[in-house]
Chains A and B, each alone.
Chain A
Amino acid sequence: MSVDQERDAPVLSARQVTRARRRASAGRSWRAFRSQRTGLAGLAVLGVFVLLAVFAPLLFSPDELKVTEALGGVLDPPSARFPLGTDESGRSVLALVVWGTRVSLVVGVAATVISMVIGTLVGIASGHFGGMAGGALERLTDWFLVIPFLPLAIALATVLGSSLLNVIVVIGVTSWPGTARLVRAQTLSVEARPYLERARVLGGGHWHQMTRHVLPNVMPLVLANTTLTVAIAILSETTLSFLGLGDPFRVSWGSMLDNAFASGAISSGAWWYLLPPGLCVVAIVLAFTLVGRALENVLDPRARER
């Protein structure tokens, strides 16, 4: 009887079994995530911003960003024609804010990818290899962890010059040490488990151990950390652009704030120019933070009690 049942069941390859198990685990995580209201709210806000970024060209033509084709007056207050008023060259602030979403999201996500890759590689390698190599990587992580972020980013941005790619690189290469430290700690705890010893005894090489056994166990933690890193990367982009180290040819929320500050929007009381970009930064950073915290709760049982 039981033999028949086994024969009837479709034969699954090892890979299919793994995939099914992963799907089930992802489903469980999603159900746990769904029960957290703040995380869901954050996800909804992120959805809105992603849609804005994708459909920006449909909402406002790129011509609206050109100073030469601006139609409004200088720092006009909100009106029916310009719902959020105009900037110092007569462009619609609403159009600028919508287009600015693109730069913030692209920089935030791309810089985070760089930071995650470096952080995970360094973290796993320094946890996996003991002795000199691991110790050296750990030292390097500690050093970069200590150097204050903004002064380092300013120095790098000055050396590299200002372009969108450079902003991404600067933020990416300055924000990895936190991840590396986290991943290293997790790697050390994974390395102590018996199944890694089994893999070693069966002759698994370093690469096999790191990619097949350590990495999958470290990934969930990295994922939660990623969401929080995106928030920090977006804030960093805003700060660097405000300091004039961003891409001068692209509108971002930080460059809008820089222009608002430089054009005297404060002393002329042009709140409509100042508030929208800043509120967008707060909304998107808060959304990423809330999603990140909710993910942490789902993936790390210890954090749940906080």
Chain B
Amino acid sequence: MGYVVRRVLTGLGTMAFVLVFNFFLFRLLPGDPISLYTRGRNMDREQLRELRRELNRPVGEQFLGYLANPFSSGVDSTQFSRPVWDVIGDYVWPTLVLLVTATALSAIIGIAIGIKGGWRRGSTFDRTSTGVTLTLYAMPEFWLGMVLLILFSTGVGVFPGVFPSGGTLTPGIEPWSVEGVLDQAWHLTLPALTLTLAYLAEYALVMRSSLLDEVRQDYLVTARAKGLMDKLVRRRHAVPNALLPTITLVFLNIGFVVSGAITVETVFSWPGLGLLSYQAIRGPDIPLLQAIFLLFSLAVVVANIVADVAVAALDPRVRT
């Protein structure tokens, strides 16, 4: 119990650091913040005065206001002219759908590959899969996405251009009809495939190496000596023990997953937080960037706490 409490407290400490860091990082911007915040936007004099009054308050006072409620930014998004958290709310769902699909698929496929390779180390399958996963690991996700797009959406040579090039839904189709759901799945295929391929490498590599750690343990010799079939030794004894580091990886990887989403959503015009980040960078829309940075960082901190608690629940050895 002490372990969980300690980890949660550490996580809360990290959260406090993220909040403070987020506030001051964007205050380092050179130049007049007013012109930066209002670039390319029509504002009347009254609004400008309001904004200047907000930004001219003493930094300490602004900081306290921010700490009281970090999610009510004093300044609106400069591109959307709406409160940043309202804008973000519109973009959360597509990202969640995409990331959950890709994470689930990549974890399942990656773990299966890792088990098969690690159990027969040095076999043809092991060497091929290690080579393929290392290559996938070396690929920029967005480039993989662009290559898939040009092959299966534009169509080059023998490759058919059957998939849509972007978006979540063909215009004119009712989203929640049978046809609409199928159409959305059709739109999800290529971006989800891209992210699945990009993420599965790490799961496969970690699963393989943690299985290799287990293979030499004494309890497997015992299991074999009892006369268990090789398949059962693997499924009942080795894999459950080796699975733990990989399961925590699902949560620890959120930061990595989020980074993939930013570029891949851009390539596929998938209207989620990744595409929103890209638009915020290109603006640049500073208030929006700041809010997105805070959201992503907090998501990762929470995921880390979840990972710690999950390990404590699954593995009695760490509960000290």
Decide if A244 touches B147 in the complex (CB within 8 Å). Answer: no
**Set A146, A243, A265, A289: member contacting B137, Cβ < 8 A:** A289
Mask: chain B, 146-161; 1 = CB below 8 Å from A; 0 = not = 1101100111100000
Cross-chain contact B258 with A151 (CB below 8 angstroms): yes
Chain A contacts for B140, CB-based, 8 A? 235, 238-239, 242, 254, 257, 278, 281
List the A side residues contacting B278 at CB < 8 Å: 243
Q: Please, which residue of chain B has its CB at the minimum distance from the CB of A278?
A: B143
B144 contact set on A, CB distance < 8 A: 278
**Contacting pair B138 A286 (CB below 8 A):** yes
- For B254, the chain A residues whose CB sits under 8 A away are 148
Determine how close the nearest CB of chain B comes to the CB of A255; give it in whole angstroms: 13
Query: Which residue of A is nearest B143, CB measured?
Result: A278
Contacts of A278 in B (CB 8 A): 139-140, 143-144, 146-147
Q: Digit string of B233-260 for contact with A (CB within 8 Å is 1, else 0)?
A: 0000000000000000000001110110
Does B17 lie at the interface of the complex (its beta carbon under 8 Å from any beta carbon of A)? yes
Partner of B154, one of A139, A156, A269, A290: A269
A61 to chain B, nearest CB (A): 28
A158 at interface by CB-CB < 8 Å: yes
Min CB–CB distance A156 → chain B (angstroms):
7
User: In the complex, what residues of B have CB within 8 A of residue A156's CB?
Assistant: 25
**Does B150 contact A274, Cβ atoms closer than 8 Å?**
yes
Chain B residues with CB under 8 Å of A260's CB are 146
Q: Mark B8-19, 1 if CB is under 8 A from A, else 0.
A: 001001100110
Answer whether residue A266 sits at the interface, using C-beta atoms and an 8 A cutoff.
yes
A257 touching B138, Cβ below 8 Å: no
Main secondary structure of the interface of A (DSSP, over half): helix
Q: Is the CB of A267 within 8 A of B134?
A: no
Enumerate A268-294 residues with CB–CB distance to B below 8 Å.
268-269, 271, 274-275, 277-278, 281-282, 285-286, 289-290
Q: What residues on B are CB-neighbors of A231 within 8 Å?
A: 138
Whether A143 pairs with B138 at a CB distance below 8 angstroms is no
**Is B95 an interface residue when CB atoms closer than 8 A count as contact?**
no
Q: How far, in angstroms, from A284 to B155 measured CA to CA in the complex? A: 28
Q: Tell yes or no: A9 within 8 A of B by CB.
A: no
Residues on A with beta carbons closer than 8 Å to the beta carbon of B153: 266
Chain A residues closer than 8 Å to B297, beta-carbon distance:
146-148, 151-152
Give chain B residues whose Cβ lies under 8 Å from the Cβ of A238. 140, 143
Chain A residues near B26 (CB-CB < 8 A): 155, 159
**Which of B134, B149, B292 makes the CB contact (< 8 A) with A289?**
B134
**Would A159 and B25 be within 8 Å (CB), given that A239-B259, A244-B281, A267-B154 are in contact?**
yes
- Count of chain B residues with a beta carbon within 8 Å of a chain A beta carbon: 55
Residue of B nearest to A286 (CB): B138
Specify which of A235, A243, A257, A281 is in contact with B146 (CB 8 Å cutoff): A257
Residues B148-204 near A (CB distance < 8 A): 149-150, 153-156, 165
Tell me, yes or no, whether A305 is within 8 Å of chain B by CB. Answer: yes
Name the B residues within 8 Å of A243 (CB-CB): 262-263, 266, 278, 281
Structural contact, A154 and B289, CB atoms closer than 8 A:
yes
Nearest B residue (CB) for A260: B146
Q: Are A148 and B149 in contact (CB under 8 A)?
A: no
Contacting pair B143 A257 (CB below 8 A): yes
What residues of chain B lie closer than 8 Å to A268, measured between beta carbons? 154
* Measured CA separation A254–B26 after assembly (Å): 25
**B147–A275 CB distance below 8 A:** yes
Taking CB atoms and an 8 Å cut-off, the chain B residues in 259-285 that contact chain A are: 259, 262-263, 266-267, 277-278, 281-282, 284
Q: Nearest chain B CB to A208's CB is how many angstroms away?
A: 34
A–B complex contacts, Cβ < 8 Å, 22 sampled: A142-B14, A147-B297, A147-B300, A149-B259, A150-B259, A151-B258, A154-B293, A155-B289, A155-B293, A158-B281, A159-B29, A239-B259, A243-B262, A244-B282, A245-B281, A261-B142, A261-B267, A271-B150, A274-B147, A278-B140, A289-B137, A305-B212
Additional A-B contacts beyond A146-B304, A239-B142 (5; CB < 8 A):
A147-B300, A244-B282, A267-B165, A269-B156, A289-B138
* Interface residues of B, Cβ cutoff 8 Å to A: 10, 13-14, 17-18, 21, 25-26, 28-30, 134-135, 137-140, 142-144, 146-147, 149-150, 153-156, 165, 209, 212, 254-256, 258-259, 262-263, 266-267, 277-278, 281-282, 284, 286, 289-290, 292-293, 296-297, 300-301, 304
Residues of A at under 8 Å CB distance from B?
139, 142-143, 146-152, 154-156, 158-159, 161, 231, 235, 238-239, 242-245, 254, 257, 260-261, 265-269, 271, 274-275, 277-278, 281-282, 285-286, 289-290, 305-306
